[in-house]
Amino acid sequence: MTTNLIIPGITQHTIKTDRLTVAYLEIGTGASPIVLVHGNCSSSLFFQDFMLELAATNRYTIYAPDMRGYGDSEVLPLDATRGVQDFSDDLDAFVRALELPPFHLLGWSLGGNVVMQYAIDYPGTLRSLTLEAPGSPYGFGGTKEADGIPIWPDYAGSGGGTANPDFVQRLQQGDRGSDAFSPRTTMNTFYFKPPFHVSPEREEIFVSSINSTRVVPGNYPGDLTQSSHWPNIAPGTQGVNNALSPKYLNQGNFAQCQVKPAVLWLHGADDQIVSDTSFFDLGFLGQIGAVPGWPGAEIYPPQPMKTQVRTVLDRYHANGGHYSEVALPDCGHSPHIEKQAEVVKIFTEFVDDHS
């Protein structure tokens, strides 16, 4: 990674774990360790300003790894039939390689699903768990109702084939333009709530971060199979978008976690990616006429993603866990960037209460 992508004060390292070589950012010398896990089509670079603000308190040491296939970490095929467990196991290998004591864990977007899986798979290692704009625990696409009921038996409408092919092509080309479907336009339209913009310098860093996504077999977006059910594409078995398919990802058992760390759920009230009316959900796109042949709301309604998150967290609470929800007004999919000062305050108060 070129040095001008790293903001002064933050250092980048690599560490060889027993699963892969991981690139990560680090700052701070405080007693409480914090690990930040990024989302799909991004990398640790999206956390830099947030990390600087956390480090300024002198209470934390902050680590932000790049997941496999993103940023400067090693590219390895992702076995989607395990859901996001490859990512969860990678995270475990990372924190063991660093010999971290119990730590605070935040996951953003796809990272939210990864950290939920980590809490399920590795009980007793967390001081607290923060879900920032997490995907539904019942996967992305292909389900309905609060309990994540599959719409079709083959989970059509989810998986590697749901990625916009124009965006995938531009990502593969490292496009830095501002046309429709470019990484830059996608970010400014959907990662943030328009008309929010970061500075020109940060925008270039973020575009580089998005373009670090490796468009290769086994990584992004993943393979697909044909389906006789609308919209005629179903999940394959490799790559990140298939790992997020409800065919393989069902985190309803988060409510029965063996050890239940306190959970903070942070999300933007105007998120267009993780939403009950998501512009990345084929059910909603069919409803608004953007995808032809939609069979109607009785058969294929929009996926109620936030309702599904809340349902699982309510069950987590009913089973003895504790969670708090903060919905930030006038905010999209990236609260730690769009509402940085507010999120730093909310997050540090939460972390300090559980240190």
State pLDDT tens for residues 134-162. 999 999 999 999 999 999 999 999 999 99
The reply to whether the predicted model has a pTM over 0.85 is yes
Question: What average pLDDT does range 72-85 have in this prediction?
Answer: 98
Distance CA 59, CA 31 (A): 6
User: Partners of 108 in the beta sheet?
Assistant: 132
Mean pLDDT over 277-283 rounds to 98
Digit-coded pLDDT (tens) for 36-48: 999 999 999 999 9
3, pLDDT greater than 80: no
pLDDT score of 4: 87
Yes or no: say if 309 and 137 are a contact pair by the CB < 8 Å rule: yes
Kindly state the tokens that stand for 192: 């943030």
First CA to last CA across the chain, in angstroms?
A: 33
**Domain ranges (residues) in the chain:** 3-152+250-353
User: What percent of the chain clears pLDDT 70, i.e. is strictly above it?
Assistant: 99
pLDDT over 70 at 268, yes or no: yes
Tokens standing for 37? 């896990």
The architecture in CATH of the region 3-152+250-353 reads 3-Layer(aba) Sandwich (3.40)
pLDDT tens per residue across span 176-195: 999 999 999 999 999 999 99
What element of type H or E holds 65? strand 60-65
On the question of pLDDT at 167 being above 90, the answer is yes
Please give the average per-residue pLDDT across 244-254, as a whole number: 98
Cα angle 252-314-141, degrees, rounded to a multiple of 5: 45
pLDDT in tens, 203-245: 999 999 999 999 999 999 999 999 999 999 999 999 999 999 9
